[in-house]
Structure 1
Amino acid sequence: ALEAGYQGERTERSHSVRETTEDNTVWARTRVSAMDNLELGLKASYGQRDGSRYQASEATSSEDNTLLRKYYLADRDRTELSFDASYSPFAALSLDATVRYAKDDYSESEIGLLDADDLSYDLSANYRVTEALNLHAFAGQQWIESNQAGSQSFASADWTYRIEDQFDYAGVGASYGGLMDDRLTVGADYQYTESSSDTQVSEGQPYGDYFQWAHSVRAYADYAVSTRTSVRLDYRYERYYDTDYADVASASIPGLITLGDLGHNYNAHLLMLTLTYSL
């Protein structure tokens, strides 16, 4: 099957250097059944964003540079492709995969974000062991490479920098239902995330690395008191750490007042009780 479509969006803002933006996107997609238990899909789209005149000037805005363009307001051309596959070797097991690529071009920007390449994939699996027990797992990665331009003289661009970002995640989980006369469902999930960033500059020394990781666990119990009322108990735990090249420790430079180490390194616990009533 082949489908095609158009999507348009107009956004109006008050007290902004660009009061109106318009996004127009055309897309086409196809989906085929390669076998009885395998489906493949492909989608392509092309979009443009433009809008009212960018009013960056000393008289009308607080922009540091009249050539600076905020990435979410600037003119942009986006080309995007995505491919997905769903495979069920047998009724109880389903496997899904998606690959995406997007190219953003900010050809009208002189200061700020110039272009970006975004590549990612997602994998997931779901296995119903029994009528009551369900297992799932997921993983994915994303890479973003972008180029930006800056100006030390608050005029035209006189230096550029390239940023390489990477994001990784993986997790597993289980749920068990049918307890207490089919009123109670319990479950638990674990997820690990990691990200890193590296910035290379055309002038001077490259920036240092940014790195982050986190472990998170969630456990829950959902009990149906009646057809309209349910009670849910959630417990969540997170172990988080990051480090940033921009941190300047206290008293590390004589005479300089800093905010200290801005990196995060913590354990967090959350216990939540929810009562739901449907009218």
Structure 2
Amino acid sequence: MKKILVTGATGQLGSELNLLSSSYSQYEWIFAGRTKATLDDLELLQTQLNEIKPDIVFNCGAYTAVDKAESERDLAFKINHLAVELLAKYTAKNNAKLIHVSTDYVFDGTSSVALDEKAETNPINVYGESKLEGEKACLKENPNSIIIRTSWVYSKFGNNFVKTMQRLMQERDSINVVNDQIGSPTHAADLAQAMIHIIEFSEWIPGIYNYSNEGEISWYDFALSIKEMGDYKCNISGIPSSSYPTPAKRPEFSLLDKKKIKSTYNLKVPDYKESLKRIFVE
């Protein structure tokens, strides 16, 4: 029985994989939180990998506090770069498969067309820099690995934009949401299913892939969809990013082109509204 190690097990993606795992009992699933796969302690992580001996690694763990990363650069790089390098080395040496999850923040946001896997990277914040270095290390140390870049992840688990909006729209009469950052959301449940689909697929085709739900929207548009589905009465105003300054800059345009993953792995990608609906009926 093949053993799948999921790092970041208590995060949004790890939690969705945990839900799905019972339908895939042909695998032995190991859901490793911070104490079982310690991404900020490389010596300990090496020991843990040697003990677990996974056949497949889903690296869902990451340092994701985008604004905090500006002042915690070393920690962000340790988790998003050096730990990924170690996982890639381990999987290459032990002939194990690695799916590493990355981000649209590796781009600078100056494009006006959907970004494919060959688009030029140029991160504009520390988080994006650390994730890009992780990608590079991953492919260098284990060219047989798969990297999935995703964006705007949400789920019924953890903290995310959808849950924040649901709370604010019930608490307040009006809110402001930025309307000049364009991309597409990703329901973590869909990404989790896509990752399992890849390991179940007849062929393992390494490289970088993009995955998010279909649709080209702003955070403001996303908020309007949440309002509509939740039937909230809150008034929502669109504002420019300049009116909502944050320590870390965000890419203005990071819509991902999904053609490669759809054609290579014969994968259907749901529309963002279709996936968002499930949050309101679950």
Higher strand proportion, which one? Answer: 1
Higher helix proportion, which one? Answer: 2
Higher relative contact order (CA 8 A, sep 6+): 2
Q: What is the TM-score with the length of structure 2 in the denominator? A: 0.30
